[in-house]
A and B are shown apart, each in its own frame.
Chain A
């Protein structure tokens, strides 16, 4: 259910032009966070005595809240978001005696991942284990963007 999407530069090359250089046929993906038509989804299913339920919530964060939420990294400079466009999506799943909660911060303009925190909790034992994963900008400058190719057939 939860994929960590780290959107990066995606060169789609065309044959060499007259001067021998190849040029990518790309457009930068520009999403509009205000176009999202939902803030919470609840999904559930059961079969043969096994059941799974997933709650998904989506928030558009204030800048102050976003900067407070995002962890610093000693492994490099974290990917930054467009100002005012940090989104927080929280997945809460219950299945097979475990609760799994995944919080994912991302840039609402291009869906670039910023940080993920996962909590795994056995329902019966109430033991909590969590990991924090800041997304580190290990790519070249300017390549942490989502690019999109539109094609109509």
Chain B
């Protein structure tokens, strides 16, 4: 799911993808839908190659 969400091109609210996922010994219908964009409080470290920086605040 993390990978799929990383590469999906959902751009507008309401854009969605439906797929089947197998876990807990059964198939599930999973709907991934973009409801909209909102900012959240963040606190993480971003590393790109040898560069590392702290990212904190509302994004």
Contacts and interface: CB of A to CB of B under 8 A. Distances in A.
Interface of A: 3-10, 12, 29, 31-33, 35-38, 40-42, 56, 58, 87, 89, 106, 108, 111, 113, 146-153
A10 B6 contact: no
Contact of A5 (B7, B14, B22): B22
Contact of B6 (A12, A37, A149): A37
Contacts of A6: 20-22, 27
For chain B, give the interface size range.
20 to 34
A147 B30 CA distance: 12
A10 B13 contact: no
Interface of B: 1-4, 6-8, 12-23, 27, 29, 45, 47
Judged by DSSP, the binding face of A is: loop
Contact of A106 (B3, B8, B23, B45): B3
Nearest to B33: A151
Contact of A36 (B6, B12, B20, B45): B6
Contacts of A56: 2
Given A29-B17, A148-B17, A150-B15, 5 more contacts: A4-B21, A5-B1, A10-B29, A149-B16, A152-B14
